[in-house]
Amino acid sequence: MTSDQLRSKFLEFFRARGHKVLPSSPLVPSDPTTLFTTAGMQQFVPAFRGEVPPPAPRVATVQKCLRIDDLDEVGRTARHDTFFEMLGNFSFGDYFKREAILWAWEFATSVLGMPAERIWVTIYPTDDEARAVWRDEVGVPEARIVSLEDNWWPSAGGLGPCGPDSELHYDVGPEVGCGRPNCKPGCDCDRFQEFWNLVFQQYNRNEDGSLVELPTQNIDTGMGLERLSVVMQGVTTIFDTDLFRPLIARVEEVVRRGAPDYRYGGGGHQDVAVRIIADHARAITFLIADGVTPSNEGRGYVLRRLIRRSARLGRLFAVRGPFLVEVVPAVVARMQAAYPELAGKQEAIRKFVRAEEERFSETLEQGTQLLERVVARAKAAGEEVIPGGVVFELYDTFGFPLELTVEMAAEEGLGVDQEEFARLMEEQRARARAAGEKAFAYRAATGYADYAGATEFTGYQSTTTESRVVALVRAGEALPRASAGEEVEVILDRTPFYAERGGQVGDQGTLTWEGGAGEVLDTYPPAEGVIAHRTRVTAGTLEPGMAVTADVDAERRAAIARAHSATHLLHHALRHVLGEHAAQAGSLVEPDRLRFDFSHFSGLTPEEIAEVERLANRMVLESAPVDTQVMELAEARERGAIAIFGEKYGNLVRVVRMGNSVELCGGTHVGNTVAVGLIKITTESSVGAGLRRVEAVTGMEALRLVQEQEAALRQAGSLLRTVPEAVPERIRALQADLKAAEREIARLQEKGAASLADELAAQAVPVDGIKVLAAQVPGMPAEAMRTLADALSGKLGSAVIVLGTAAEGKVSLVAVASKDLVARGVHAGNLVREVARLTGGGGGGRPDFAQAGGRDPDRLPAALAAVPGLVRTQAQGG
C-alpha cells in the first residue's frame, strides 16, 4: 500500500466507528512551553486534563510532527527522522482499553492484511486488563505478549496526562535480527518493528511525582506513517518507502553536479548525507509553510540549523551555492496530495531557503577557514580539545553554529569544550536580559500572584470604570498606603486601562478618589491575569480597599486604536502584495504611529511600498465596520482568522474583522476603518535574516508628517527659485551643472599638477645612488595627488616618490617606486605604511604603488623627513 492509501484507510476506518476526523494542527503549537508539535495528542492535552471540552467524544487525525531529540541518528539508522506523520485515534471518556485494542487488531489484520502470527504486543507489567484483552479476546498467544517497564507514556516521569501503554510490533523475520533464540520486542536489533502505540490515559502526574486519576479515562494512540510504510511496503528503512524515494532521487540528481560519479546505494558517508538532506528538506518545507522563519532563537534557530546542516553536507559532493532550494519542489510534489496548502506556499518556501543558503555560504567560508587554522594549531600543540572561547567567537562573530564546529572538530579527532561555550552563552544572555529589562515593572512580578487576583478588563466597553484598589506594590512588596509624591504600582479589581501586550503600549490616564488623585503613567501585565497601573500620587493618600474612578486618556487611546487597526490593514496589504508568507513577526503600536515586523526575504521596492500603502488606504476608505467576536479557537481558524506567530491563545479567542482582514487580537481598535485616517509608511528596513520592518503613521501624526514634508518642499522650491512641483527637475539641472564644474576643476587640477611637477622634481635628493623625493603638497585631493605622482615618475625616471597632504584633520599619502628600484629591494607599500605609522595611521599596497592615511597632520613634515632613511634601509636589505 502507498502511504497516501494508508492515511486514507486509517481515517475512513475510524470515521466509520464514530470518530470525528480533524485536520492536523500546525507544527507550531499554542503551548509556549514547547517548540514544536511532537505527538498527535499534543493539541488535545487541555481536553485530556479536563480544562476544556473535547472537540468530540471520539477523534481521529493524521498529525504533522517534528522531533529533533535524536538529530545525530537521522540518516544513520533505519527509523530516525525529524518530520513525521502520526496517525492517531482518541477517546475522551468514551471507550477505553478493550475497544482500542480490538480496533487496532482489526485494522492491522483485516484492513492492512498483516499476518496475525507476525504481530507481537508489549504491555506494562501490571496492566492485567490489557493482557486479558489481548490474550482472551484477540487471541494473541501468551508467548507473544511481552511485559516491559518502558510501556508507560510519557516515560521518564513526564508531567501531565499519562498512563500504561500497549505497543504493536511487526516481526520482519529472524534474518534481520540479532540471531539470538530468545529475541523478542525490547531487543536492540531491528527484527521487531514497533508500529502502533496505544496509550491508556488514566492519570495526571503532578510536579511532586504523584499520580492523580484523571476526570475521565482516555485513549491516545499513535502510529507513525513512516514506520508503518516500512512494514506495508516490505522495505528495511523509512528511506526506502514511497515517502522518501522521490526525494532521495532528487537529492542524488542535484549533488551529482559536484560529484558526477556518485550513485546512491553504495553505502558510506555520502549515502548518509543524502538521507539527511532528504529528511531535512521535508522538515524545512513544512516548518516554513507553518510560519517559521530562520532566526537565532527558538524555532527559527532549529530551522536555520536544519538548512545549514544540509548546506554543509552538500560540500561532501563539492556542491557550491544553493542546492537545497532545488529539493523543495520534490517535497511539495510528494506531499501536496495530503497537504494541498504546500503548493500555494512553494515559492515563498524556496525564497526563504535560497536566502538562508546564500547567507550561510558566506558564513561557512569564513568560519571554515578560521576553524581550519584553529584545528591546525591545536594539533601542532598536541591538544585534544578546542577551547570554548574560540568556539564562542566562531558563533558570536561569524554565526558559525556550535553543532557544525563539533562535527568538523570530530572529523579531525578533536573535542570541543562545550561547558565553557555554554557558560559564555549564558553570560551573553544575562547581559541581554539586563539590558532589555523594564526594571521597575518586572522586578516586582514575582510578588503579585500571592495577593492579587485576576483583573477584570472593562476597556472594550468604556474608558471610565468604578474600581476598588486590591493592592499597592513597590519593588515586589505590598504597601499599606501611598501618599502624594510617591510612585507606586496600583492593582485594581477591574479596570478600563489596556495593559501593554501584543505590541500595543499601555494606556495612560488618571485615578481619582475621595480626597485624592493620581496620574497613571503606564499600564502593563506583571503576571498572568494581573494589570498593574504605574501611578504617581498627586494628591491625598491611597490605600488598599479604597474605591477609585479609573479614567483612561480617551484621546490617546483613540490614537493608539487608529495605529493598531492600521497594523491589521497593513498586514493584509503586505500578504496581498508579497504573498501569504509575509506573516506578522512582531509589532509596536503607539499613539498614531506603529512598527510592524514581518517575514520576507528581501527589501521592498518603492513600487511595492506604494502598492501596500494604496491597498491599506483603500480599505480605510471602504469604511468597513470593525467587528469583534469571542469564539472557540477552532471556529476562528475555520473562519480564516490569522493567528500571530509566537502568541499564546486559549480555547476562547477574540476575533477582529475589518473588511477582508480577519485576525486574532486582544487589542483596542476603531469602530470603523475610516476612523484610521491616512496610513503613511515612513521607513522600510531589515531587522534580521528573513525579517523586514515597516514603520508608519496614522491620523494626526500622518497629517503632521504630510504638512512637514509640504513645508520642506515649499522651502526647497523657494531656495531653488522654482515652484514646489518643479523641484526634482531643478535639482537634476543643478546636479548636471555640478558634475560639469567638477570635471573642469579636475582638469585644472591635473594641469596644475603637471606644472607643479617641474618645481617638485628639482627637490629630489640622492640616497645611495637613488633619487628620492618626499614632499608635502597642500590642499590637493587624493586623485590629483596620484596624477602628480605619475607626472613626477615620468620626469624623474628611476626614483622613489612619496607625496603627502593634510586636510580636515586627516593625512593622505601616496608612494611610487620605479621597477628597477623595486628589483633592488624598495617596496612602496611597506614604505608608505611606515610613513603613515609616523602620522598615527596605516596603509600599504603594491611594491611599485601604494596609498595610506594618517590621523595627525602635525606629524606629517617629520614623517616625510624620515623617507630618505627608510629608503636607504630598504635598499640595503633592512
Let me know if residue 650 belongs to a domain.
yes
Domain annotation covers residue 382 = no
Is residue 116 assigned to a domain?
A: yes
344 with 377: CB under 8 angstroms?
Answer: no
Q: Is the pLDDT of residue 749 over 70?
A: no
The CATH number covering residue 623 comes to: 3.30.980.10
Q: Are residues 184 and 211 in the same domain?
A: yes
Burial class from Cβ neighbours inside 10 Å (0-12, 13-18, 19+) for residue 53 reads exposed
φ, ψ for residue 116, nearest 5 deg: -60, -35
Asked if residue 439 has pLDDT above 60, the reply is no
Dump pLDDT digits (tens) for 761-790.
889 999 989 999 999 988 777 778 888 888
344 CB-side CA count, 13 A: 9
Q: Show the domain range for 609.
A: 557-706
Q: 152, 161, 49, 225: which is closest to 651 by C-alpha?
A: 49
Residue 766 backbone dihedrals phi, psi, to 5 degrees:
-80, 135
Percent of all residues in the chain with a pLDDT value above 70, rounded to a whole number: 94
Residue 432 has pLDDT above 60, yes or no: no
Lowest-confidence region among 532-546, 586-600, 634-648: 634-648
pLDDT of residue 254: 94
pLDDT of 648 reads: 60
- Please determine, for residue 434, whether its predicted confidence score (pLDDT) is greater than 50: no
| d(C-alpha 312, C-alpha 306), whole Å | 10
Q: What is the DSSP letter of 16?
A: T
* pLDDT confidence of residue 436: 35
Residue type, 139: G
Determine the pLDDT at residue 438: 32
Mean per-residue pLDDT of the chain: 88
CA 817 – CA 846 distance, rounded (Å): 10
User: What does the alpha-carbon distance between residue 33 and residue 750 come to, in Å, rounded to a whole number?
Assistant: 70
Q: 795 with 764: CB under 8 angstroms? A: no
Q: Which of 545, 576, 602 finishes a domain?
A: 545
Residue 609 pLDDT more than 90? Answer: yes
CA angle (845 as vertex; 844, 847 as ends), nearest 5: 115
3-state SS of 355-387 is HHHHHHHHHHHHHHHHHHHHHHHHHHCCCCEEC
- Asked if residue 772 belongs to a domain, the reply is yes
Contact between 806 and 857 under an 8 Å Cβ cutoff? The reply is yes
| Residue of higher predicted confidence among 400 and 127 | 127
Using an 8 Å Cβ cutoff, are 135 and 188 in contact? no
Based on the domain organization, do 217 and 167 belong to the same domain? Answer: yes
| DSSP classification of residue 499 | P
- Residue 176 and residue 203 in one domain: yes
Please tell me whether residues 671 and 697 are part of one structural domain: yes
Same-domain check for residues 97 and 143: yes
Q: Which of 492, 525, 545 is the last residue of a domain?
A: 545
Taken in order 23, 27, 32, 33, the sign of the CA dihedral is positive
Helices in 236-268 by DSSP H: which ranges? 245-255
pLDDT of residue 162: 86
Span 33-50, pLDDT tens digits: 678 998 898 888 888 877
Whether residues 127 and 214 share a domain: the answer is: yes
Using CA atoms, how far apart are residues 311 and 323, in angstroms rounded to an integer?
A: 8
Q: Rounded to whole angstroms, how far apart are CA atoms 442 and 5?
A: 54
Q: What angle do CA 543, 549, 553 make, to 5 degrees?
A: 120
> Hey, is 192 helix, strand or coil?
strand
pLDDT higher at 878 or 357:
357
Same structural domain, 534 and 571 = no
Handedness of CA 410, 415, 416, 418 (dihedral sign): positive
Among 361, 385, 418, the domain boundary falls at: 361
Rounded Cα distance between 9 and 14, Å, is 9
- Give the model's confidence band at 752: pLDDT under 50 very low, under 70 low, under 90 confident, else very high: low
383: Cβ–Cβ under 8 A, 6 or more apart, which residues? 414
Q: Is the pLDDT of residue 490 over 50?
A: yes
Same domain, 48 and 156: yes
Give the range among 78-87, 445-454, 763-772 with minimum mean pLDDT: 445-454
- Indicate if 672 and 796 belong to the same structural domain: no
End-to-end CA distance of the chain: 82
Residues 271-314: tens digit of each pLDDT = 999 999 999 999 999 999 998 888 877 888 889 889 988 988 88
| Number of domains making up the chain | 5
**124-128, 428-432, 546-550, 673-677: least confidently modelled range:** 428-432
pLDDT above 60 (res 442)? no
58 domain residue, yes or no: yes
CATH code, domain with 491: 2.40.30.130
Q: Is residue 732 part of a domain?
A: no
Q: pLDDT tens digits, residue range 242-258?
A: 999 999 999 999 999 98
Summarize the chain as % helix, strand, coil (round to 5): 45, 25, 30
Q: Residue 650: is its pLDDT beyond 70?
A: no
Is there a contact between 522 and 500 (Cβ–Cβ < 8 Å)?
Answer: yes
How high is the pLDDT of residue 451?
41
Lowest mean pLDDT among 144-148, 178-182, 655-659, 686-690: 686-690
The pLDDT of residue 331 is 97
576 and 608 within one domain: yes
Dump pLDDT digits (tens) for 342-359.
998 999 899 899 988 888
Whether residue 192 contacts residue 170, with contact meaning beta carbons closer than 8 Å, is answered with yes
Phi, psi of 504 (to 5 degrees): -85, 130
- Strand segments (E) across 646-715: 652-658, 661-664, 680-688, 691-697
Q: Is the pLDDT of residue 741 over 90?
A: no
Q: Classify residue 682: in a domain, yes or no.
A: yes
Are 632 and 702 found together in one domain? yes
Beta carbons of 271 and 211 less than 8 angstroms apart: no
Residue found under cell 518603492: 606
272 closest CA partner among 69, 70, 66, 74: 74
> Residue 655: which of 675, 671, 672, 639 has the closest Cα?
639
What was the pLDDT predicted at 33?
A: 64
Q: Would you give the distance in Å from CA 525 to the centre of its chain?
A: 25
> Does residue 434 fall inside a structural domain?
no
Claim to verify: residue 580 and residue 694 sit in the same structural domain? yes
Closest CA to 157 of 208, 197, 198, 107: 208
SS3 per residue for 736-754: HHHHHHHHHHHHHHHHHHH
Indicate which CATH number applies to the domain containing 780.
3.10.310.40
SS3 label, residue 196: strand
